Amino acid sequence: MPIYEYVCQSCGTKFEKLVRSAASADSIECPKCGKKEVKKAFSLFGLSGSSSQSSSAATAASCAPGGT
């Protein structure tokens, strides 16, 4: 059951909603104004703040078991 981010086209409110099925996605309402004019927002869930490969390699190395 994924959680999606939405933006209300009427009032601009951003909110998250747990969507149990594709059928329930059609009945999503804005929690602020109650209108159904919502659009799924683009989410960057799970991305790190750095795009450098050396940064990700350093992070991975710091998770490795110690040993000299």
DSSP states along 51-62: --HHHHHHHHHH
Closest of 18, 14, 24 to residue 4, by C-alpha? 18
SS3 label, residue 15: strand
Q: What is the pLDDT of residue 28?
A: 93
Residue range 22-37, pLDDT digits in tens? 777 788 999 999 999 9
Identify the pLDDT of residue 35: 96
State residue 9's pLDDT score: 96
How many Å separate Cα 22 from the centre of its chain?
Answer: 17
Domains, the chain, ranges and CATH?
A: 1-45 (2.20.28)
3-state secondary structure of 38: strand
Say what the pTM is.
0.58
Give the residues of the chain that fall short of pLDDT 70: 1, 43-68
